[in-house]
Amino acid sequence: MTNTLPYDAHVYTNASEGRDSLREVVRAAYACGLELVAIANSYDRVGEDLRDQAREVVRASSHAPLMVIPAIETAIQDAVGTIGLTDELARLAPVVYAHLSGRTRGIAASPPASKSRYLSNLFQALLNVVDRAPITALARPFNIGQFPAPLTPAQLPPSALDELAAAMEERDVAFELNNQIHWWFPELTVDEFTGEYSRVLEIFAAQNVKFLVSSDARSAAAVGNHAYVLRLMKAASIERSQVVDLPRFVRRKMERN
């Protein structure tokens, strides 16, 4: 049976944060009916070695029964939205993510005591990345529930969410629907988190922001697992037409290059 969501846009192998080999991950993707799998590597971990890793993924794609593409993720370094990834390296992959990490200064590291200042830092970083960085999508948006100054999705101001959504729509930056986003909020039950996060998603969907779907898998067994993504889509009334057709997107990008 064909997977209801035909691709997985964020998967790791043992070349980065994953447990299993590229071959095992590709095999698992094909076994669960995917048309495309994106193999993610972190610029902040491997730097210039991204070139070799991207080439390995491209070679794997030439022998695979589905599309296998490289993806790059880069951490947001500070509240100004600085990233280390250059435009040249970003061109190695058709999918490039930016994400908040435990080292993002002013948000996860050394956050301000003031809630209003913290929120200002958070949205300034995301807005600047969307406006300036060569990215395809924000990964794990608002994964702040395990940072030193945790906030829940319900505490994010709707006006700030609206502003970010408008910027993402204008710059054609997608919002990643990550199957493991609930993990970042251990203080909320899954039902509580789903309710709060789906209301955030509704704001982005209303602004016509596109969504990328991913398992965030760190093992072959988790590749293609979109069960929680589908639950979020239902809760936020996100239609399939609002989800990026990644195989088509990649083919068009390859034709242009």
**Phi, psi dihedrals of residue 145, rounded to the nearest 5°:** -70, -15
At 2 the pLDDT is 42
∠ CA 137-139-143, nearest 5°, is 140
- pLDDT at residue 43 tops 90: no
Share of the chain above pLDDT 90, in %: 89
H/E stretch holding 55:
helix 50-63
pLDDT, tens digit, 9 for 90 and up, residues 68-95: 999 999 999 999 999 999 999 999 999 9
Work out the pLDDT band at 1, boundaries 50, 70, 90.
very low
At 124 the pLDDT is 99
* Average pLDDT value over all residues in the chain: 95
pLDDT, tens digit, 9 for 90 and up, residues 123-176: 999 999 999 989 999 999 999 999 998 899 999 999 999 999 999 999 999 999
Work out the pLDDT band at 49, boundaries 50, 70, 90.
confident
Q: Which of 77-91, 98-112, 243-257 has the lowest mean pLDDT?
A: 243-257
Indicate the SS3 state at residue 80: coil
Query: How many angstroms separate the CA atoms of 224 and 131, rounded?
Result: 30
- Amino acid at the residue 129: V
Judged by phi (left if over 0) then psi (alpha if -120 to 50, else beta), residue 247 lies in: alpha
- pLDDT at residue 97 tops 90: yes
- pLDDT at residue 100 tops 70: yes
Query: How many angstroms separate the CA atoms of 39 and 16, rounded?
Result: 10
Query: How many angstroms separate the CA atoms of 194 and 59, rounded?
Result: 39
At 257 the pLDDT is 65
What strand order describes the sheet that includes 137-138?
7-11, 36-42, 67-78, 95-105, 137-138, 174-178, 211-214
Beta-bridge partner residues of 99: 75
Q: In the numeric block, which tokens belong to residue 248?
A: 């088509």
Work out the pLDDT band at 241, boundaries 50, 70, 90.
very high
Q: Are strands 137-138 and 211-214 parallel, antiparallel or unpaired?
A: unpaired
Q: What is the DSSP string of 162-214?
A: HHHHHHHHHHT-EEEEETTGGGG-TTS-HHHHHHHHHHHHHHHHHTT--EEEE
pLDDT, tens digit, 9 for 90 and up, residues 186-223: 999 999 999 999 999 999 999 999 999 999 999 999 99
- pLDDT at residue 253 tops 90: no
Task: Indicate the class that CATH gives domain 7-256.
Answer: alpha beta
